[in-house]
Amino acid sequence: MKRKNQIRRVLFLFILFSVCLNAQNEPIALSGVNLWHNGSFTPNRTVLIEKGIIKEIYETGAKKLIDSVKEIDLKGHYIIPGLIDTHVHMGMGNRALPRSPDTARLEFKRWIYSGVTSVRDMGGDARLLAYENRLIFRNENPGPEVYFSSTFGGNDMMDKDIRMKIITQGVEMENAGWTQRATPEMDVKLSVTLAKGSLVSGIKFYAGIDADLIKEITEEAHKQGLKSWGHLTVFPNRPIEVIEAGVDVVSHVWGAFWQDEDVDPTKRIPFTHTNFNNARTAIYPADLSNLNADSPELKMLLDEMVKRNVIWDINYSVYNTKMHDLYRAYAMAASNAGVMLSTGTDYYNDITDPYPTVFKEIEDLVIDGILTTAQVLEAATLNGAKAIGIENTHGTIEKGKIANLVVLRKNPIEDIKSIRAIEFTMKNGNIFYRKDYK
């Protein structure tokens, strides 16, 4: 009898679960809307969404909707793809999951209600990130899709960096696929396989790895379907050597400083960083006045990035008060050279601010004249998807793609600050109305 009850309870839960899944899958038509695609808005479109996928796009009125479709009239509104922040740290740091899951969940929530549908986490505890990502996927917590990385570093980093210890608590570091020691003696295939097994989307090269080894690991990562992500400051290499090693994405505007012939990256060995402040002082050249954004070395670096389609997750708006002019000169040089930029932030504003930091990144790139509004929308969507490696399913609003998008009340092409005029975010077909954000 007891067993029968148990079976009945399981059956009930199963049905409830199926109903929940179906509820979010009712077909939706967004009609009469201005649709962003390939650099401009097309007016009066209907976007038909079923089971979280974009089924069809056509001129509103060209086809009759069947009764089961829920129609949302969006006349006078603008749809852009979901925004992507390509540089976050939810898996590491004081405000992130290992220390403060509640604070991290507030950030997840702020992101999704602000139109951010995917983020790329740049090093952290994969166990926690995978767990949160599952809660988000099941709609138990609001948030974006979270893609994350495995941090690869040399001996110095793995032995001394306190952050590596925090994110591997409870396991031997060697067995934690999300933090791997990169040395000439390593078993490259095994390390990359362990990384993949920890559900990451890419390898992040952090510090103290020779370019030859970056190349070998990158080739294995690509073979196993993972991305290769790095900084321009993986010492002892010059930035160009990191690019030539075949990485897909590099982070931080300041990394390019080290391409200048007046600074010697090998002086940063060993790259000891036992805490975050220590790491930060290690990454800026001692004398910034030597740097020259017009140098032939920088031009060579940027041209190589263009040739290889490397994305620069430039983190332009981070800590930019003192460094603003220099950052701007480097970012302008990149834009003029045609380097593909993505909008990563690498910092957090106060959680009481209604919008996350990616808004400042997007707006500053336009306000400072580095990208046009059309270019920045591509940087914040399609380029972000390419950085993560999900451009076949994300990053644009097209038939067959995942329904991740943002509905705006104003035209962002006329004023980039209109990205704040959010009506709702849609992620996998689920709607998050901005007015419900508390």
Judged by the rule CB under 5 A, the positions of this chain that interact with Zn ion are 122, 346
- Looking at the Cβ atoms of 361 and 423, the one nearer to Zn ion is 361
CB of 346 to Zn ion, least distance (A): 4
- Looking at the Cβ atoms of 255 and 412, the one nearer to Zn ion is 255
Alpha-carbon torsion 390, 392, 397, 400, what sign? negative
CB of 128 to Zn ion, least distance (A): 17
* Cα–chain center distance at 361: 13
CB of 89 to Zn ion, least distance (A): 6
CB of 2 to Zn ion, least distance (A): 53
- Looking at the Cβ atoms of 49 and 250, the one nearer to Zn ion is 250
First to last CA, the chain: 46
- Strand spans (E) along 115-226: 116-121, 145-147, 149-153, 179-181, 202-207
Amino acid letter at 24? Q
- Looking at the Cβ atoms of 122 and 129, the one nearer to Zn ion is 122
Residue 287, exposed/middle/buried by CB under 10 A (0-12, 13-18, 19+)? exposed
- Looking at the Cβ atoms of 117 and 233, the one nearer to Zn ion is 233
CB of 323 to Zn ion, least distance (A): 16
- Strand spans (E) along 308-403: 311-313, 340-342
Q: How far apart are CA 152 and CA 201, in angstroms?
A: 14
Neighbours of 296 (CB within 10 A): 9
- Looking at the Cβ atoms of 241 and 346, the one nearer to Zn ion is 346
58's CB contacts (< 8 A; 6+ apart) are: 45, 46, 48
Minimal CB distance to Zn ion: which residue? 346
CB of 358 to Zn ion, least distance (A): 14
